[in-house]
Chain A
Amino acid sequence: MRFISHRDVARAFERAFRVAEVPLAFTAGFSPHPKISFGPALAVGYESDAEYLDLECTEEVDETRWTAEVTAALPEGIAVTRVAPLADRAPSLQEEISVLAYEVVLGGIPADAVGPVVADLLGRASVEVTVSRKGEARIDDIRPSVLALHQPRPYEACVVVEVATRPRTLRVVDVVHGLRAVAGDAWPIEESRVRRTYQWIERGGARHEPLDVDRRSDARTLEACA
C-alpha cells in the first residue's frame, strides 16, 4: 500500500466512510465536501505506522463498531487502529504536529559505517545540501531541522530520524542527502525503504500522540499503513 499517494489515501478514506455509512458532516456551499482533514502528507513509496485524520460527524459514533467497519471498507493494507473524540474547534493536525519520526533503511553503506556518519552529522553546526523547492534548486542548511538521529540496530544500515515541520517540513530525501554529503566519497548513501513511525504534537515541552490531546466531541482517528 506504500505506492499510493496522500491524495489517493484521502479519497480511499472518503469512500470507506461512505461504505461504512459514517454520518459525515459536509461543508456548505456550491461544492459540498465531507469535513475531513488530514495530517502532514506521506510521500509515495513510504510506509507508515502513524497517520492521522480529523473527521466531523453529524452524530455521535460507536467507536468500536466504527473502527472495524471502516477498516473493512478500506483498501487492504490500511487499517483504522484507534478513534478518539475531539474537542470542538481543536487546532488542526497540520498546525499542531511539529515532529515527524521515520525509520530509514539505507543503501550504499554497510551497517558498521553508519554510526560514524551519524555522529559526524550530529557534530556539525550546519549541513548544507541542495534541495529542490517548488521545482527550483537551492542550498539549505538542514541541520537545525534534524532533531534527533540514531542507528537503532547496529547490525543494520538503518537510521531513525526525527525532523521538524517548522519553519518547513524537512524531507527524508534531504536528510539522506545530508548523510551522503557528510560521508563524502566514501559511501554513496541512498534511501532504500522508509517508514513513518510517529507524529508528535508538542505541548508545554512534552510530546503527545495526536490522539491524546484535544479530546472530546468528534473523532480524531488513527490509521496505520502497512
Chain B
Amino acid sequence: MSNLWPRIESLLPRVEKPARYIGMERGSVRPEHHPGKVAWLLLYPDAYEVGLPNQGLQILYEILNERDDAVAERSYAPWVDLEAEMRAHGVPLFSVDTHRAAGDFDVLAFNLSAELVFTNLLNCVDLAGVPVRSAQRHPEHPLILAGGHCAFNPEPLADYVDAFVMGDGEEVIAEITEVIGAWKRSGRAHREQVLHDLATVPGVYVPSMYDVEYDGPRVVGVTPRYPDVPAVVDKRTVADLAEWPYPKRQLVPLVEVVHDRLNVELFRGCTRGCRFCQAGMITRPVRERPLEQVRTMVRDGLRRTGYDEVALTSLSSADFSGIDGLVGGIVEEQTATGSVSLSLPSLRVDAFTVGVASEIQRVRRTGLTFAPEAGSWRLRQVINKLVTEADLYAAVDAAFSQGWRRVKLYFLTGLPTETDVDTLGIAELATNVVDIGRRYTKGASATVSVGGFVPKPHTPFQWFGQNSVDELRRKVSLLRDALRRSPAKVRWHDPEASFAEGIASRGDRRIGAVIERVWRAGGTFQEWSEHFSLGRWLDAMAAEGLDPDWYVTRHRTEDEVLPWDHIAAGLHRDFLWQDWKAALAEHGLPDCRWTPCYDCGVCTGYALEHVVAANVPPAGGSQGTGQDLATGHSVPVQLLPAGARPRSGGTGARVAG
C-alpha cells in the first residue's frame, strides 16, 4: 500500500508548522496493516493543535490498536497552506502515523466536537478521494463514520456520513469492528449490506436506513426502512470508568498544542443541570473514576510523558468526591519529585474551589477563571446555574486575597427571558469584582468574556429561538458602554459565528446541502475567525431556498417533531419540556446527587446509577445549590416534596432558611 511520505516531505518546507504532519509523537504507533484487520483512520476535522489533545480520539486509538482484528491511525485537517499544495500536487489526505493514503483505510471515523467543523469533514472526505455524498460511494470506498457531541443531532450531515455513533465509544467500537471485519471477509460486495448490519448495532445510527417526511418546512416523521432497524437510536454509556483507564499512553506532541499537558479524566457526566449545557445533559449519569486509579494514572502518566503539568478533567472537576484530598496528595507527591503543576480546567464559582486552586497553584498565581454565565440571580435560576452573588464575591475575594491578580469571568448572552437588566448585571458584577480585587492589589483586573448563546439539541433550551445577530450585537454594545469607564475589559464572541452555529446546531437533513455549498465556496476552518464569513452561509441558505430565521431564531412548539427526536441521550422528552417550563418560571433545580431524583430518564432508562463516592455536597459556598453550605458535608439542603418535582409541574429549587 501507499506510503506518501516522500511526496509529503517535498511539500513541507513550504508550509507553516510542518511538524503538524510528521507524526512521531511519543505514544504514537506505526501499526502493521493486514487484509484481515479492519483499518481505522481516526480524524479530528480541525487543525492538529486543536485535534491532537482530544481525549476521545486518543482513547479509541489505543483500544483499537490493542485489538488483534484492527489497526488505527490518526489524521487532522491539513491547514489551508498544505491543502493548497496537496491539491496542486495531487497528494491525497494521509495518516500522520505511517503517511498512508486515507483512501486505503476501511473506515474514516470523525470526531465532531463543534458544528462549525462540519465543512472540514466534507473537505477531509474529498481530500481522501472519496465522494462527499454517501449515496455516491462504492464498496471500495472507506466507510465514513462520525461520533462526538455533535453527533447527537446527526441530521445536517445525514447525507454525507454513512453511520453515526452515539455516546461513549469504548465498547461499541469493538462491535463495529466485528461488523466491518465480517463484511471485508465476505468480499465487500454491497455497501448497503454493511450499513444495514451497522444499523442494528446498539448506539449506531445509519441515516440512509431512515426516511424523513416533511410537511412544508417541518419535519413530521423519521421512520426506519427495515423492521430490524430501531425507530429510536439510544446512546451508548460505559457503566464503569474503572474498566477503561485510557489513555494509558497519552500522546506527547512535538509541537505546542492546546491543553499541552497530561490530562486525566476524573469523571464523565454532570448533574449540575445547567440548562444551556449540552455536554452536561447528554453525558449523564455521573460516573467517577476510582480515586486510586486517578492517582495511578497521574503518577504513571507524568513518568511516561515528562510533562510538568497535569489537568484533572471533567465537566466540573471540583465536584469530584474527595477532590481536596486527591489534590493535596498529588501536590505532595509531585512537589517532592520535581516541579509539577496541577490544574482544574472547570472551576466552580465558590470559595471552596478557590481553596483547592490555591492548594495546587502554589506558584504562578496569575489568572483564575469563573463562569457565572448570567448577570442576575433571576437569570441564573432560569439557566439553572445556581451561583449566588455571595458565592461569586467570596470566590473572588478568596482569589485576590491569596495572591491572584487577574480574574476572568465567562458569561452567555442571548439567554431565554434575558432583559437589559440582566445584561447590565454583568457590568455590575464585573465592576464589583475589580473593586474587591483592588482591596488587595492595585494591579487587580477582570476580563469579561461574552459568548452568544446557541440552543443545543437534547437540552431544555432546544425549543428556544436564538437571538438574532443584531440583538446579540446590541447586547454586547450595551455591555461595552456600561463598562466603558470601568477597569474591567470586555471580550466577545462574533455574533455572526453564533448565528452560523445556530443553523447547524438545530438543522435538519436539508441543512446538509447548505454545508456542502459553504464548503464548495471555500468555507473551511469556520471555527477560525480569519476564515469565517456569515455571507457564505446566508448565500447557501438562499440558494437552497431555506429561511435562516426559521432555523435559528424561531421558538419551537411542544408538539413539533424535532429533527433529532429519533436519537436518544436517555433524557425523557417530557422531562426536558418540564425543565424548559421551569426555566421560564425562573425555578432552579438543585443537583440530583444530593436531592431526590427528578426522573430525567437516564439512570432508570439505562439501569445505571450515578457512580459517586459521596452523595453530600462538599463544604463552602452554595455549591450550585443557591443555599448556604458553609458548614458542608451535612446536606443542609431542603429536600423537595414529591409534588414539587418539575415533572409534575411544581416548583424547583428552594432556598433553605
Q: Which of B1-59 contact A (CB under 8 A)?
A: 12-13, 18-19, 21-22, 24-26
Which residues from B are CB-within-8-Å of A4? 19, 22, 254-255
Contact A19 B304 (CB under 8 A): yes
A residues near B539, Cβ cutoff 8 Å: none
Contact of A76 among B24, B308, B339, B364 (CB under 8 A): B24
Q: Which residues of A contact B338 (CB under 8 A)?
A: 18, 24
Nearest CB on A from B96, distance (A): 12
Q: Is A77's beta carbon under 8 Å from chain B?
A: yes
The interface bits of chain A over 8-19 (1 if a CB of B lies within 8 angstroms of the residue's CB, else 0) are 100110111111
Known pairs A12-B254, A18-B338; A30 contacts B18 (CB<8 A): no
Minimum C-beta distance from B570 to chain A (A) = 41
Q: How far is the CB of A217 from chain B (nearest CB, A)?
A: 22
- The answer to whether A45 touches B254, judged by C-beta atoms less than 8 angstroms apart, is no
26 A–B contacts, CB within 8 A, in A order = A3-B12, A4-B19, A4-B22, A4-B254, A4-B255, A5-B19, A5-B255, A8-B254, A8-B256, A11-B256, A12-B254, A14-B306, A15-B252, A16-B306, A18-B302, A18-B306, A18-B338, A19-B305, A19-B306, A24-B338, A31-B363, A31-B364, A32-B363, A44-B18, A45-B18, A75-B254
With A3-B19, A3-B22 known to touch, is A15 a contact of B254 (CB < 8 Å)?
Answer: no
Q: Are B256 and A45 in contact (CB under 8 A)?
A: no
Instruction: Say yes or no for B550: interface residue by CB 8 A criterion.
Output: no
B24 and A1 form a contact (CB under 8 A): yes
Do most interface residues of chain B lie in helix, strand or loop, or is the interface mixed? loop
Cβ of A122 within 8 Å of any chain B Cβ, yes or no, is no
Contacts of A15 in B (CB 8 A): 26, 252, 305-308
Q: Assign chain B's interface to a size class.
A: 20 to 34
B442 within 8 A of A: no
A11–B306 Cα gap in the complex (Å)? 10
- Whole-angstrom distance between the alpha carbons of A30 and B404 in the complex? 12
Give Cα A104–Cα B429 distance, bound, in whole angstroms: 61
A5 to B304, CA, bound (A): 23
Query: Which residues of chain A come closer than 8 Å to B13, judged between CB atoms?
Result: 45
- Asked if A3 meets B18 with Cβ closer than 8 Å, knowing A18-B308, A19-B306, the reply is yes
Q: Mark contacts of B331-343 with chain A using CB atoms, 8 A cut-off: 1 yes-contact digit, 0 otherwise.
A: 0000000110000
Check B485 for interface membership: any CB of A closer than 8 A. Answer: no
A31 to B365, CA, bound (A): 10
Whether B303 sits at the interface, judged by CB under 8 Å, is yes
Query: Which residues of the partner chain B approach A5 to less than 8 Å between Cβ atoms?
Result: 19, 255
- Contact of A17 with B24 at beta-carbon distance under 8 Å, contacts A8-B19, A12-B254 already known: no
Please encode chain B, from 548 to 574, with 1 for each CB lying within 8 Å of some chain A CB and 0 for all others: 000000000000000000000000000
B-contacting residues of A (Cβ < 8 Å)?
Answer: 1, 3-5, 7-8, 11-12, 14-19, 24, 26, 30-32, 44-45, 73, 75-77
| 17 additional contacts (CB under 8 A) given A4-B19, A5-B255, A26-B339 | A3-B22, A4-B22, A8-B256, A14-B306, A14-B308, A15-B26, A15-B305, A15-B308, A17-B306, A19-B304, A19-B305, A19-B306, A31-B364, A32-B363, A44-B18, A45-B12, A76-B24
Given contacts A3-B12, A24-B338, contact A77 B24 (CB under 8 A): yes
Bound: A75/B26 CA distance, A: 7
Find out whether the CB atom of A19 lies under 8 angstroms from the CB atom of B255.
no
Alpha-carbon separation in the docked complex, A76 to B363 (Å):
33
Using CB atoms, name the residue of chain B closest to A44: B18
Q: Name the distance in Å between A222's Cβ and chain B's nearest Cβ.
A: 20
Distance of A16 Cα from B21 Cα, bound (Å): 22
Known: A8-B256, A30-B364, A31-B364. A75 touches B24 (CB 8 A): yes
Q: With the chains together, A45 CA to B256 CA distance in Å?
A: 17
- Alpha-carbon distance A17/B252, docked complex (angstroms): 14
B residues less than 8 Å from A24 (CB atoms): 338
Q: A75 to B338: give the CA distance in the assembly, Å.
A: 22
Q: Considering only CB atoms, which chain A residue lies closest to B13 in the complex?
A: A45
Contact yes or no, B256 A32, CB < 8 A: no
Kindly list the 3 A-B residue pairs having the minimum CB-CB distance in the complex, ordered from nearest.
A15-B306, A3-B18, A18-B306
Q: Which residue of A lies closest to B337 (CB)?
A: A21
A75, B255: Cα distance in complex, Å: 12
Interface centre among A73, A75, A77 (most CB of B within 10 A): A75
In the complex, the chain B residue whose C-beta lies closest to that of A77 is B24
- Complex Cα spacing A7 to B256, Å: 9
Which residue of chain B has its CB nearest to the CB of A11?
B256
Chain B residues within 8 Å of A26, by CB: 339
Q: How far is the CB of B222 from chain A (nearest CB, A)?
A: 47
Complex CA distance for A43 and B149, rounded to whole angstroms: 40
Please give, as numbers and ranges, the residues of chain A lying within 8 Å of B305 by CB-CB distance.
Answer: 15, 19
Interface 0/1 of B231-259, CB less than 8 Å to A: 00000000000000000000010111000
In chain B, positions 290-323 with a C-beta closer than 8 Å to chain A are: 302-308
